[in-house]
Structure 1
């Protein structure tokens, strides 16, 4: 097997993480076809084209392998739209309520206009897609894209209006399960249209097929906020 440069291996790792094919990479960046398969190193022109299209990558990780793949800043906002198959129009200015999810009885109740909801604060960021609310997530199933403590901004949807392959905030209740809240990719199931497959970003979490009727509430993830505090 032909050996390629370490930096190219990391670019290929990044493209796999983002679900971007080589052909799409070449089209988006204008880099010559076959560049990623050559054994030579990266030219400065290729690097500049790469960063112009994918500014979220951590340059230290690309060069040395140290740190996280995606940039971490003191207060980093990631528009999930950049990794999504569907695109939305943006709202120039909106205030998004950040809910105290621990004070609610569940996701279905949070989405209900008749249920009391405690608002911790509001988030105001220009040029975001339309969002209905925001909550803090826990767990590592979507790591490293999301990690416990991140804030996700969401738009409420129905199961009839989902786009397969996108990331969703879900409430799931099955007969032998306790109701739980999770963030997963929703994919088509091999078991038929009465089921959906829930998949994680973290490879340690196995995909699971569940009945569509087990989903009691669902929202499309529009963006996430990560706050890194120096101690």
Structure 2
């Protein structure tokens, strides 16, 4: 508002009269933190509804779930990216010296985001396990996070291989391929090569083939 040229450009871009601009200025917007809380709750309800819908389909519920529509595209238009969250961690760490307070602040931002919810535990671990004061600038915090995420991915992959007694080389290749294409497939022979040697007639074969770890390395793909 202190730049007359910028004001005129804004009015021209949005076809606003002086009265329109005055009316816009009179609107009181909620605080950013409150907006984040709204988005987070909205996402929680959306996730809950998806689970309810899946359960209702099994029980042949009479509820017409098609009447319930979530404006996901609207949320995506306001989506924040991972780099923004990491820059926020860097900035907030300079002001907030308590890691627990920093974690609470970052959780709030993550849960308001559709695309980053799966990375919440990874980002929290990054905050808790690193000396953020030693990271000099925003670019460095992004590099540090991706180095940390790759190490965590390798660690979790090895834990999965050990726990399920998988063929290590084939399992790493399968995980890498799945991350690149952003989904895991059980078609063809890829997954079969990962599993420990057992007959397809073994009752445990299909169980092991379908089993998914509680915390999949695919959550760390980006």
Q: TM-score of the superposition, structure 2-length normalised?
A: 0.23
Structure number having the greater strand percentage? 1
Q: TM-score of the superposition, structure 1-length normalised?
A: 0.22
Structure number having the greater helix percentage? 2
